Structure 1
Amino acid sequence: MQPKLAIILAIIIVIIIVGAAAAMLYPKPTPTPTPTTPRTLVISHWGFAWDKIKEIVIEPFEKKYNVKVELVSGRTAERYAKLVEGAEPLPDVIFLPDYYMYRAAEKGLLEELDLSKIPNYEKLYNFIKNALAQTEVGKYGVPHTIQDVLIFYRSDLHAPVTSVKDIWREDFRGYIVLPDITTTTGPLFLVLTSIAYGGSVENVEPGFDALEELKGGIVTFYLRSADLMSLFERKEAHIAPGLRYQIGALQGVNKTLGGVIKYVIPEEGSIFTLNLMAIPKGAKNKDLAYELINFWLSTEVQKKLAEAGVDAPVNAEAEIPPGHYYNIEPVTRKPIYIKPEILAAHLEEWIDEWKTRMGTG
């Protein structure tokens, strides 16, 4: 080997040895992995009690699935109209009462659900699953809460109430407040009255006949929970039908009055409606939509939402203490469900007849 070539090879070997030693002494730092950009999941919801929902549901879900939840809030009719119009952003999950969800399904706006992707569905109360099995909307929507009709009354001024018919008692005349037929409570109360007076879910004429007898003794027909609260606070209301969630809304007023506003499930039964979750057709994140629906139905989330006074649970494993107003075990004893198909077929004529016979038109 020529001396010059030997020197060059020696230099190369030295460089390699020094480089290897340096690599061992000063290893290259492992690069920090760049977190995946969170996907955005759009949900259409009323937005009530959102601070509590955000804490109990949204933030844990965002953390678990590396997702950012975007809320589109508004009243039921407003959000339903946006869905029909195809307004942007299109929600990945929409929350609506069963009647509106049925209308959306009839228009072909919703995905038919694959319940195998919602394992927590199996934890629902049997009476709720049975109700959904009777209606087409059960293919498209999954309930996240239940609302049943109760009767609120001033227990300090009147004898105990047990029946819908007690509203017709003479001692309540002049202090009766009823829901307007256009509210969620209105049609439920009409049907419950009809059942009490010999009618049925579809035969509401006995209900209308009975309600006409109350004319002259009714203070007003309320449209919002705030109206009901105000009427009890001003001592103008002594009795009123309402939904279970209104117990929470009335707590402040009831405390001011000394806890005298009581509520009762009427002996005729627990007539109820369901608020549902569904996936609109064209949703961009169906996989995450299924995950959110299943997460919302989990035992832990359902229990926490009930204890926080947000929603009554539909998960039978979410144990709520006896006496808590969101313990719905009493509802299971005599449940009455109005299928959305019945409301879709009859609600407009009921509204027209109500306006004519009750003088609210």
Structure 2
Amino acid sequence: MQRRTFLKAASATAVGAACAPYVHAQAKKFAGITLRVNGFGGVFDETLKKCVAEPLKEQYDLNVQFTAGPEQDDVIKLIANKNNPPFDMFLGDSPYMVLLVNAGTIEEIRASDVPNIKRILPGFREFGDYGAPFSFASSVPVYNSKYIKEPLTSYSDIARPDLKARAVMQAPSTFGMLLAAVAIAEENGGSVSNMEPAFKVMEAAKPNIVALADTTVAELQMLQNEEACAGIFWDGRAHELRTKGVPIVAVAPPKGIYSLTTYINVVKGTKYPEAARACVDQFLSDQGVLGLTQALRFGATTDINLPEGLRKDLLFNTPERNASKRTVDWQAMMANRSAWIERLNKIFRS
């Protein structure tokens, strides 16, 4: 071997030997750390474990622990224990983000700390630098094409006379119902500041509603068992019904689609902010975003290039459809939530 070649090889070996411990240390810099995260349970949490927790464990030896519970209860728990937070990170849907931000319980997340923040599509960060949106579900009109021959085209169609005793909606206390009410109000010239148009449509729809489902599962079962053949439901759940052989059509109303986004947050006061930011970056990676999109057909919030077969199953699958996602004033919804629930209960119970 020539001397120059030998010196190059020796230098490379020396550099490699010197770098190896550093690289290993960097890869395992979060070893022994466990991030506590609230969870939603079921397929949702199992998917996050596979697409977020397992890759972080492999890359950094970082543990991510999801604990399922009612989101509202976990929000209250976090706000009540701001000085000693029970979570390091928090999964929060759009309405609850209002409470988390107002209570000062979560940190801002910037692209300088989390590179994948730059990949979020325009319009999905509804709360400035707070929260990283990684998934969203849309509440849309649905119908069983086996029984409903005239397609539904709008949220307000829930009041069509031909749907008498044939429709199901979520209960007034759910965000599925409140989101539908906002959609109906805005379709009819109203707004979150003027919900009267929505209440009038709900009055007209009352003879059509055979049940107000307290849970998503209850509504799914009614549609699957053909106890109802129309309603307003989540797009991903409508896909689930189609996989079970129920010919449920999810409608994209031309005046816009109303959605609820799920955010991952870094809790203020966590002992592990750097590890938490690495976790946020994994949520927004292709692997993280693709998980729930594949499992539940929830919408993707980043510039991920989705497989064509999967794209066909999604409600939001073109730039034009993406542009139809309506902005919701979540602050106003949360401020008026109790009054809206009371009014809707009065309508359906009278």
TM-score between both structures, scaled by the size of structure 1: 0.81
CA distance in 1, matches of 2:307, 2:212: 33
SS in 2 for 1:235: coil
SS in 1 for 2:206: coil
Instruction: Verify: 1:335 aligned to 2:325, yes or no.
Output: yes
Selected match of 1:309 from 296, 306, 317: 296
Change (3 A) 1:311 1:334: closer
Question: Is contact 1:306-1:320 (8 Å) kept?
Answer: no
Change (3 A) 1:309 1:213: closer
Instruction: Verify: 1:44 aligned to 2:33, yes or no.
Output: no
Moved more, 118-127 or 327-336: 327-336
Alignment of 1:158-307 (within 5 A): 158=148, 159-251=150-242, 254-255=244-245, 259-307=246-294
CA distance in 2, matches of 1:326, 1:305: 14
SS in 1 for 2:205: coil
Question: Is contact 2:180-2:232 (8 Å) kept?
Answer: yes
Question: Is contact 2:238-2:248 (8 Å) kept?
Answer: no
Question: Is contact 1:44-1:94 (8 Å) kept?
Answer: yes
CA distance in 2, matches of 1:61, 1:326: 30
Change (3 A) 1:293 1:326: farther
Selected match of 1:86 from 78, 81, 90: 81
Question: Is contact 1:303-1:318 (8 Å) kept?
Answer: no
Question: Is contact 1:273-1:337 (8 Å) kept?
Answer: no
Give 1:196 deviation, angstroms: 2.0
SS in 1 for 2:134: strand
Instruction: Verify: 1:359 aligned to 2:349, yes or no.
Output: yes
Alignment-derived partner of residue 324 in structure 1? 313
Alignment of 1:63-212 (within 5 A): 63-86=58-81, 90-129=86-125, 132=126, 137-158=127-148, 159-212=150-203
> Rg bigger for which structure?
1
Q: What are the superposed Cα offsets for residues 178-225 of structure 1, whole Å, 9 maximum, x if unpaired?
A: 122211211110011112222124321111011111222210111212
Unmatched segments (≥5 aa) in structure 1: 1-32
Give 1:249 deviation, angstroms: 4.0
CA distance in 1, matches of 2:106, 2:240: 32
CA distance in 1, matches of 2:134, 2:316: 15
Give 1:251 deviation, angstroms: 4.0
How many equivalent pairs are there?
Answer: 318
Question: Is contact 1:247-1:325 (8 Å) kept?
Answer: no
Change (3 A) 1:138 1:70: same
Letter in 1 for 2:159: W
Question: Is contact 1:302-1:318 (8 Å) kept?
Answer: no
Letter in 2 for 1:99: P
Identity over the aligned pairs, expressed in percent? Answer: 22
Question: Is contact 1:172-1:239 (8 Å) kept?
Answer: yes
CA distance in 2, matches of 1:331, 1:147: 14
Question: Is contact 2:140-2:252 (8 Å) kept?
Answer: yes
Unmatched segments (≥5 aa) in structure 2: 1-23
CA distance in 2, matches of 1:356, 1:226: 24
Alignment-derived partner of residue 24 in structure 1? none
CA distance in 1, matches of 2:257, 2:315: 14
Change (3 A) 1:115 1:48: farther
Change (3 A) 1:320 1:148: farther
